Structure 1
């Protein structure tokens, strides 16, 4: 009887999660250090509070995919929404445009631009 109850509970959880609201990510784009011309820095794109965990994050510099991007393992909060971080090293030059392109679960991709003044 105990196994049946656990299985039924698990099945209800799976059904609930599959019918849960789609939650697009909240996206923050920032640099590790304040922007300084010609100095090494790190661009960080932090996505949080999204569900389900299907997400694609691309870092761009002047419209080109940045090389050497790295990512932290995806994880989840107590409310079962997820968070994820992708980052890449760069050297800032005036006029550079650094973006984080995010696609989540079939929604249109959004582009979030880094503001070097922040």
Structure 2
């Protein structure tokens, strides 16, 4: 049974890695939620522009720069995901510490590589 992934920093632009990740996650039948600055839809996944208090998020796949992440710290902790994947360019030691203090697994990796190598 696949667990729900929240793509934080989703983009409608097809060349953005967050967009590609949503398509690949859906291609492997993962349940996906998405949050971004512009509403729209990617592969039947609506992009929410308001923070929703999901109660079933297993993984957050991060596509926000460390500077942009700060305003989402409380939201991320409140979702109580099992893990947060920090994709290239999103590495944030300050947030790693906060997540670990809240018993949330930190994974510095690439969602696309994890999917391609069946390690997701």
| TM-score (structure 2 length as normaliser) | 0.21
Higher strand share: 1
| TM-score (structure 1 length as normaliser) | 0.21
Higher helix share: 2
